[in-house]
Amino acid sequence: MPRSLEPMGVAADGRLGESKSTSASANREWSTGTRFEPVDVERRFEPPRGKIHPDRTLGWIRRMLPIVAAHKWVFVPTLVLALIANLLQVLLPAVIRSGIDQALTDRTASLNRFVVMVLVIGVLRSLLTLVYRYGLYKTAFQIDSDLRNRLYEHLSELSFDFYDRMQSGQVISRANSDIRSVQMFLTFAPLISMTVVMFSVAFTFMLTIHVPLTLVAILPLPGVYWLGVRLRNELFPLSWIVQGRLADVATTVDENINGVRVVRSFAAERQQINQLAKAATSLRWASVRTVDTRARHNPLIENLPRLGTLLVLVYGGWLVIDEQVTEGTLFAFTAYVTLLQAPFRTLGMVLMLGQRAKASAERIFEILDTEPSVADRPDAADLADIDGAIEFDDVVFAYGNGSDRADVLDRFSLRIEPGESVALVGRTGCGKSTVVRLLARFYDVDQGAIRVDGHDVRDVTAASLRAHIGMVTDEPFLFSTSLADNIAYARPGAERGAVVAAAVEAQADEFIAQLPDGYDTVVGERGYTLSGGQRQRVAIARTLLTDPRILVLDDATSAIDVHVEERIHAALTERAAQWTMIVIAHRLSTIALADRVVLMEDGRVAATGTHRELMANEPRYAEVLAHLDDGGAA
């Protein structure tokens, strides 16, 4: 199978173009002008337009404003139309007031003129409402999409250590319910704030008519403000708890679905139901407390302004009887008091949305503010065509930090020549899998260095490094799509012939051909509709299709029948000169693939040599092999 790695580059302006970093004749040339993209996939959507503000000292709204500002050409006109519609609503009582006073009381004007004016205002306001609501919802979904894409983009850049400590349910909750809370507030809060403008205009108009009656109308409003502040202070911590416990429920459900086979095998359904019930009960408590807090405040917040209506009717009625104001004025004041109440009737909802959005935003910022521990340096260059020489130079590495620190590698040194096959053998926990994770730069070393063709892996872009490394693990992950797409995952544009050829080498073609839809058969989630051995063969085919220069087999045939494994090994042996191969050996048969065996102990190289040499001269190697058989593990 010819090497056909044809990466694409993304220019600084985000447009796809041909990469300058890899070609057959590149001879280890370096390129820093474009971003290395090993998978040739055309961008089919616009990237998120806005980013959150990087200054963590700012309030959450100010940090989110760039996301909203990215859609200003739709959002701002929408708000202008909403403002005009609200001003027309303020104008309507004034027109009716003039109609009552001039057409009905004084009979100095025709009533028809005022009827036409009311109809025009009503129709115009309806049209404006239709347009601004369309623009509002369009902006809402654009903001929602941008936030989700921005969060997912950042998640794809975060290092493995983030996922080691973050539960998947917590991530899913932030990407769904938390983003939804922020999106609702950012979109609807400005619209609701328009009622404040309407309040100001109505209040000013009332003052020009009758100052004492205006003061009577707003008498209850300071109490509404005080209640609103209390509600806000009580809702914020409850909102944080609710969002956190929603994430706990999502985590429990996610683990139960992904681990359903384990649950069923131990008949632990009732135990898991109890676990979910516990999480749901905690969520219920927090939700009930939130509803209880709102129930104690919202009725007063909504009904106190109605006391203003009562006072206006009592005092205004007396003024009408005393002929100090007209009937039209009393009607206008009654209508305006209703408009004055609008901001306060929605105050409870705004405060609830705001506090929930604040809690959600801070949970989202926890992810967006997390910097990847493994990131390309500013001057990192793309690693072009390589020979495959690998060197581990006094590597020290530990998982976690502080009290959680777990030392794995301690001054690990090893050199692998281009085209050489090396088997790593050792007891469980000695660091074999960690070695290849560091090679692919899933983690960075704490001390020492790892070099590929003499280049420190920290000095090259991670994407270009990983494009040369093909890795197959003992628990391969398959996507819920066709087998052909799973095999061609790293080369989506690969021809069917190349896909079949890779499957033949991996001994997967035989069982795929027997499936009803062959290579178009869609596998279930995580590939669980296939057996463990079949999933491993598909994963091997997927890696072989990329034709990597460095091949890593991490117990990659542990679930495969011995006879099938022999055929896979034969195919790999035929092409052994094309790659540098690292085999993590948990089977005696796997060691046969290697030119050299490295015995690991306590995170170091304890001994190295051929299988025969180690068997003859290294008792520790013989002791490790004593625990190995065709199905055993080291």
| Tens digits of residue pLDDT in 168-178 | 777 877 888 88
Q: What is the pLDDT of residue 500?
A: 92
Query: What percent of the chain clears pLDDT 70, i.e. is strictly above it?
Result: 88
The residue to which tokens 């896909």 are assigned = 499
Q: Which of 7-16, 89-98, 215-224, 511-520 has the highest mean pLDDT?
A: 511-520
- pLDDT higher at 192 or 69: 69
Q: What is the pLDDT of residue 102?
A: 84
Query: CA dist 236 to 18, 232, 353, 578, Å?
Result: 50, 6, 10, 60
- pLDDT tens per residue, range 250-280: 777 776 766 666 666 666 677 777 877 888 8
- pLDDT tens per residue, range 538-584: 999 999 998 899 999 988 877 788 888 888 888 888 877 788 999 98
Nearest in space to 630 (alpha carbons), one of 573, 558, 570: 558
Dist. CA 288–CA 242, nearest whole Å: 10
State the average pLDDT over residues 295-299: 79
Give bridge partners of residue 381 from the DSSP assignment.
460
Mean pLDDT of the chain: 81
State the average pLDDT over residues 85-105: 84
Residue 24, pLDDT > 60, answer: no
Dist. CA 245–CA 513, nearest whole Å: 47
Which domains are seen in the chain, by residue range? 1-46 (no CATH), 60-368 (1.20.1560.10), 476-547 (3.40.50.300)
Q: What is the pLDDT of residue 259?
A: 67
**Which pLDDT band holds residue 213 (cuts at 50, 70, 90)?**
confident
Q: What is the pLDDT of residue 631?
A: 41
Q: What is the pLDDT of residue 596?
A: 93
Q: What is the pLDDT of residue 604?
A: 92
Q: What is the pLDDT of residue 327?
A: 83
- pLDDT tens per residue, range 133-148: 899 888 888 888 888 8
Are 52 and 66 spatial neighbours (Cβ–Cβ below 8 Å)?
yes
- pLDDT tens per residue, range 368-426: 998 888 888 888 888 888 899 999 999 999 987 766 777 899 999 999 999 999 999 98
Q: What is the pLDDT of residue 13?
A: 36
**Which pLDDT band holds residue 606 (cuts at 50, 70, 90)?**
very high
Helix axes 327-345, 72-98, angle to 10 degrees: 150
Q: Which of 7-11, 224-228, 443-447, 491-495 has the highest mean pLDDT?
A: 443-447
Q: What is the pLDDT of residue 504?
A: 92
Q: What is the pLDDT of residue 44?
A: 65
State the average pLDDT over residues 197-218: 82
Query: CA dist 51 to 65, 67, 150, 267, 373, Å?
Result: 9, 6, 7, 47, 21
Residue 19, pLDDT > 60, answer: no
Q: What is the pLDDT of residue 633?
A: 40
State the average pLDDT over residues 324-331: 82
Nearest in space to 567 (alpha carbons), one of 537, 588, 539: 537
Q: What is the pLDDT of residue 628?
A: 63
Dist. CA 566–CA 589, nearest whole Å: 8
Residue 165, pLDDT > 70, answer: yes
Q: What is the pLDDT of residue 266?
A: 63
Q: Model-level pTM? A: 0.71
Within 10 angstroms of residue 116's Cβ, the number of other Cβ atoms is 11
- pLDDT higher at 36 or 251: 251
DSSP 44: -
Q: What is the pLDDT of residue 30?
A: 35
DSSP 397: E
Q: What is the pLDDT of residue 562?
A: 81
- Candidate from 234-238, 311-315, 445-449, 620-624 with smallest mean pLDDT: 234-238
Q: What is the pLDDT of residue 159?
A: 85
**Which pLDDT band holds residue 634 (cuts at 50, 70, 90)?**
very low
Q: Is the dihedral of CA 58, 60, 64, 69 positive or negative?
A: negative
